[in-house]
Amino acid sequence: MKKFFKFLPIIFVLSACFCIAFSACGGKNDDKGKLDSTDPSKILVAYFSCTGNTRKIAGYIGDITGGIAYEIIPETPYTAEDLNYNNNSSRANIEQNNPAARPAISGGVDNMAEYEVIYLGYPIWWGEAPKIIYTFLESYDFSGKSIVPFCTSGSSDIGNSATHLHSLASGANWLSGKRFSSSASKSDVENWVM
């Protein structure tokens, strides 16, 4: 028994090392491990993209998961001038500065009830998701569904852009999000998804 107590600190240190190593491996997948067994027909990859970066990442996620892609298309498309973030009066800047802005979406998802997992992609606009993402989230009942946010940006991380969306679909199970650069490869995305 005395021996046991003598070795107790060593056992403790070894257990701690094991736990740290184990959680580091698990951390690679964040909390998406629980999505591993999801039937591809129940995965929706919904995304908004004006200049193609987020569309590319969404395409990779669709290929990797087998999920169905849905592009959130604005009723009024954004012109290059609408996206001019150097102009305080550009459409994108005005919308991002207006908490009530909800740009209209053209069309929609007919069978949202059938999806269990929604990958939700957007470009970062001034550190946040574009307001059309707010329109999308307010358009459906996401209760009981898992939402996995992802974004692209020039350099900003996903930051609080995703957590600021949680209240718009409070019944959903929001998973950790991920930011990708415009040059992210399919294997970068695969490392995150799988």
Residues in contact with ligand FMN by the rule CB under 6 A: 49-55, 83, 85, 92, 123-127, 152-156, 182
The torsion defined by the Cα of 157, 106, 111 and 167, in degrees rounded to 10, comes to: 40
* Residue number, 156 or 173, with CB nearest to ligand FMN: 156
Q: What are phi and psi of 12, to 5 degrees?
A: -65, -45
For β-strands 73-74 and 105-106, DSSP reports them as antiparallel
CB of 63 to ligand FMN, least distance (A): 17
* Residue number, 33 or 52, with CB nearest to ligand FMN: 52
* Residue number, 65 or 90, with CB nearest to ligand FMN: 90
CB of 147 to ligand FMN, least distance (A): 18
Structure tokens at 159: 């930051």
Q: Which of 167, 76, 156 is nearest to 124 (CA)?
A: 156
